[in-house]
Amino acid sequence: MDQGNLYKEKLLVQRYLLKEIIGQGAMGIVYRAEDTIYKRQNVAVKILSRSLNDMKMIQRFQREATISALLSERSDNIVKVSDYGVDENKVPFYVMEYLNGENLTEIIDIHGISLTKFFDFSRQICRAMETAHNGIFFEGEISPVIHRDLKPSNVFVIEDANGKQQIKVLDFGIAKLIKTEEGETESFMGTPRYCSPEQLQGKDLDNRSDIYSLGMIMYLMLSKKYPWDLEIDSVGEWYKAHTELTPAQFSSELNIAADLENLILKCLEKSPNNRPQSVGEIIQKLDLISRKNSENNSAITTKNIPKNDLLSNDSKLTLNQFLLESKWPKNKPIQKIVFPRIITYEKQIISTVCTMLEEVDIKNRQNDIRYNQFLFQSYPHPMILWLTVLYNHKDGARWLPCYLDLKTNIGQQVVNTLSDSKEYYLLFFPIEKPQVCQDFLSFKVMLKQRTNLKQWGSVSNMITVKHNEEAIVSRKKLKQDLEELKPKIILEIEKSNTQELHF
């Protein structure tokens, strides 16, 4: 039996119930777990890959784990470490906040990264690194923390409370936590694709080793490629690339500014002395390049717009005005129904949910708590339940479900639009005066929801539908699921302190 199955469903140190494996690598296995002491809250527990054989090793682990935990309190861009210890088998573990989001590998592969996001993500990664490299005051001395395994899969992207994308760097100093004692044979800890030459050569490391790994990540974010095109993905080939081969320049098709390219290639210098000497230096250069890029784009945009058009915004409708001018479709009955609708505003495709209610109900719902959720039924017919809920204590819940058939053009179009949007709009039409939209509300579409929608859309393309009646079966199943979920949703809404919830 492998280590993963050994620990699954185990109650670790009489507190953390390990539920499922969510990550695995050379340094250990990560589980989603429930904290049985604190409201059964989800946490991530990493079981490290080697046991600690004596008290000296345990004490060193505790020291390094304490430093990592203290470090996580110093930066919002470092994943929070809330607990650590050694189990009855002398295997070390540590407990982190559970993150809903995607790692940078998935972001690069699935979504790609725009230049604006590149600057944002790079700055946030740098801020985490700068905090670590500056060190923690512990036991009377400053202890700098070198990551040693900085790579895209150790960089998580979540959405913060304001709906903005936030970087969380994982595993700071963990490679050092499981490093062998002096005199023992050391196994290599790190990921060869992203390691500095000096790390591969077994030399002492400082902050500049992490800067090399950062250069690899920045190169990959912009190009979706590595700086070398290796025929074989082996440790030996990566050793040769990092220690001997010159990184390729960016393709001219990417139109990367020369100063940005120079900065990244500088990070990839073989000698640490030739790289930027601190992350702060990189942040300054990124800020300067970003400002120059924005100014250049602004100048180009203004130059290409006819002078008369620069003053024409006054005569155009704002998005709010445009939504309020929406008309109830002539092919829809004048009754209380809910349906999805795609609209176009200044070349921007927007997803909306249209509903017809009494005028007084619309007015009473403007300050409601807002909730949305997406459910997927793949068999026998791919279909998504797009659920919008409005709730207040006086009037209760207003359930507004839409069913998206992924084998129809409109269903596919709505899902594609939602998966690329950070929000959608709920348009209210009064049944007394149904011609024009009376009001609207906006709803966020969170990163995890957008990722799910993309994946469900891809899955639906692989499903062959034999009979149209199968759509009725899937729709009926989703309706049953909704009825079962309603009490749980109400409970979640009533105990929440926020105005908007997403699941």
Strands 500-502 and 369-377, by their bridges, are: parallel
Specify the residue for token string 């499922």. Answer: 20
C-alpha distances (whole Å) from 131 to each of 80, 84, 169 are 14, 21, 11
Q: What is the 3-state secondary structure (H, E, C) of 135-160?
A: CEEECCEEECCCCCCCCHHHEEEEEC
Report the alpha-carbon distance of residue 281 to residue 298 in Å, rounded: 26
Report the alpha-carbon distance of residue 207 to residue 120 in Å, rounded: 21
- How many Cβ atoms sit within 10 Å of the Cβ of residue 252? 7
According to DSSP, the residues that pair with 502 across neighbouring strands are 372
Report the alpha-carbon distance of residue 170 to residue 168 in Å, rounded: 6
Q: What are phi and psi of 7, to 5 degrees?
A: -90, -20
Active-site residue flag, 229: no
Single-letter amino acid code for the residue at 224: K
Q: Which of 120, 149, 210, 405 is catalytic?
A: 149
Report the alpha-carbon distance of residue 29 to residue 128 in Å, rounded: 23
**Are the C-beta atoms of 425 and 431 separated by less than 8 Å?**
no
244-248's contacts with Cβ under 8 Å and 24+ in sequence apart are: 247/219
- Residues annotated as catalytic (active site), given as ranges: 149
